[in-house]
Structure 1
Amino acid sequence: MSNLSPVDRAKFIAARRACDYVEDGMKVGLGTGSTAAWMVRQLGEMVREDGLRIKGVPTSSRTAHLARETGIEVISLDEAKWLDLTIDGADEFDGDLALIKGGGGALLQEKIVATASDRMVVIADAAKEVQALGAFPLPVEVVPFGWQTTKALVEETLAGVDVLGREATLRISGDGPYVTDEGNYILDLALRRIGNPWQTSLVLNQIPGVVENGLFVDVCDVVVIGRPDGVVEVRDVENGASTQRVDILGEDANLFADE
């Protein structure tokens, strides 16, 4: 691990700590993104080497492929019906554990899976924490039909919401629009600051053509924040504002030693 950047070290540490929440026999939602990928690999190692028995419900085709590669049994949400736990990353989180997600384009499946779980654990590096959401562009998934009209409606509607910006940009991949696993497009909203995430989410989802938005409010239960030095900070909504720091490198002091 000595060749990892400080940010990747932090992501790895957070992912490793979050795997402590996974118990034998659980049905686990598997998030999408660079931080979640560390978690999937770690769980796969626990399946192969420790005999952990879990069933994983992936939030994207990319995660499904990675989970199968690492040896995790993959099932659909319809097969699982309900999940014990979902572990996923975030693009931003605030002091209330409200999130912006969807930078990886999987916000719809991520939100469905997260809300079908007893608990949602978010893994992140410290740079993802903000005082107010909105610096990261807010992804909004829209149906392709009439997307330009939907875009105009979104920008018009934002005039009545407590945000600092209203510009919506169609996400591009290659020579055309980025297409989600569900066949939809994504608008990225440059809001700069979101004064009321709950209201903003509610208003956006009432616009015809909008499928879902990347604001996760009252969904996350725990945030695990990794740091490059191996220290993790755990924030649990059930314990109010309490925090704990766990130096997991104390158990394996040479985890990042040069080989």
Structure 2
Amino acid sequence: MTGELSPIDKAKFVAAKRAAEFVEDGMRVGLGTGSTAAWLVRCLGEMVREDGLKIRGVPTSTRTADLARDVGIEVISLDEAKWLDLTIDGADEFDSNLSLIKGGGGALLQEKIVATASDQMIVIADAAKEVEHLGSFPLPVEVIPFGWQTTQALIEETMVSMDVMGRQTSLRMNGDRAFVTDEGNHILDLHLGRIGNPRQMAMVLNQIPGVVENGLFIDICDQVVIGYGDGRVEVRDINAGTVSEGRVDFVEDDNLFKDI
């Protein structure tokens, strides 16, 4: 039941519930990865089961694919879809320009590919994810396993000339082993504190040999849906320059919460 959810989880839920309203019958929808995106998948699954919504989902990770199938969403590959009407995903941070840091869940490569293959990207987040400057959240960088320590050294050397507060990097771990992405790569987390020029950072990182992709999403997000623990929701559209507010009511016996 919703009464058992923390304020943060309530905020994530209302953002996901509001964003689900942008999904229309017949759409090909990119499905993000992470705790907030999981609420979105559950909301869409309910719309498929209860309202007869017909969509095809392109997941950004095996975790999301499994959840989507479990809730009744038809899952297809990006190659099958060719192009998407909409992608809805979470973010680890976003700023006033709707630039993002993503990759906390380890799926940044598929997330960026899917998002850029969409007519529109909507980010769903709780209010705590908004920052004045990106960088408090460690920036994930996906690297190939071969020579990853050399790649790490090159990244640290490059950071000396960048507008950042810190330059510490760490290999993401899964227990006592290196974390492995769906593509078989590793992730280096960059503890930068503040990124003065995210656009420059994104371009520079991707020029370093061994780097597959970075977690900076620049000029990709079109709208952000911000949820609050009291049910309030704010929608910002960067293209239209509009901000709208509303509220999502909680339903205590909602099937979405049966496994909470």
* TM-score under structure 1 length normalisation: 0.96
Aligned to 2:251: 255
Aligned to 2:69: 68
Q: CA deviation at 1:215?
A: 0.2
Aligned to 2:195: 194
Q: CA deviation at 1:212?
A: 0.2
Aligned to 1:149: 150
Q: CA deviation at 1:256?
A: 5.2
Q: Give the Cα–Cα distance (whole angstroms) in 2 for the partners of residues 231 and 101 of structure 1.
A: 24
Paired amino acid for 1:119: Q
Q: Give the Cα–Cα distance (whole angstroms) in 2 for the partners of residues 180 and 39 of structure 1.
A: 22
Q: Give the Cα–Cα distance (whole angstroms) in 2 for the partners of residues 94 and 222 of structure 1.
A: 12
Paired amino acid for 2:251: L
Aligned to 1:175: 176
Q: Give the Cα–Cα distance (whole angstroms) in 1 for the partners of residues 247 and 50 of structure 2.
A: 23
SS at match of 1:200: helix
* TM-score under structure 2 length normalisation: 0.96
SS at match of 1:134: coil
Aligned to 1:238: 239
Summarize deviations over 1:103-160 as a string: whole Å, max 9, x none: 0000000000000000000000000000000000000000000000000000001111
**Structure 1 residues not aligned, in runs of 5+:** none
SS at match of 1:244: strand
SS at match of 1:68: helix
SS at match of 1:160: coil
SS at match of 1:21: coil
Aligned to 1:22: 23
Aligned to 2:102: 101
Aligned to 2:208: 207
Q: Give the Cα–Cα distance (whole angstroms) in 1 for the partners of residues 247 and 172 of structure 2.
A: 39
Aligned to 2:227: 226
The residue correspondences of 1:109-188 to structure 2 (distance < 5 A) are 109-188=110-189
Q: Give the Cα–Cα distance (whole angstroms) in 2 for the partners of residues 200 and 75 of structure 1.
A: 33
The residue correspondences of 1:30-109 to structure 2 (distance < 5 A) are 30-109=31-110
Q: CA deviation at 1:19?
A: 0.3
Q: Give the Cα–Cα distance (whole angstroms) in 2 for the partners of residues 147 and 89 of structure 1.
A: 28
Q: Give the Cα–Cα distance (whole angstroms) in 1 for the partners of residues 161 and 114 of structure 2.
A: 30
Paired amino acid for 1:76: S
SS at match of 1:238: coil
Aligned to 2:218: 217
Q: CA deviation at 1:255?
A: 2.8
Q: Give the Cα–Cα distance (whole angstroms) in 2 for the partners of residues 46 and 110 of structure 1.
A: 23
SS at match of 1:239: coil
Summarize deviations over 1:224-252 as a string: whole Å, max 9, x none: 00001111010001222x31111222xxx
Q: Give the Cα–Cα distance (whole angstroms) in 2 for the partners of residues 106 and 147 of structure 1.
A: 18
Q: Give the Cα–Cα distance (whole angstroms) in 1 for the partners of residues 181 and 146 of structure 2.
A: 14
Paired amino acid for 2:61: S
Paired amino acid for 1:97: L
Paired amino acid for 1:77: L
Q: Give the Cα–Cα distance (whole angstroms) in 2 for the partners of residues 180 and 161 of structure 1.
A: 27
Q: Give the Cα–Cα distance (whole angstroms) in 1 for the partners of residues 234 and 247 of structure 2.
A: 9
Paired amino acid for 1:11: K
Q: Give the Cα–Cα distance (whole angstroms) in 1 for the partners of residues 216 and 232 of structure 2.
A: 28
Q: CA deviation at 1:46?
A: 0.4
**Structure 2 residues not aligned, in runs of 5+:** 254-260
Identity %: 72
SS at match of 1:139: strand
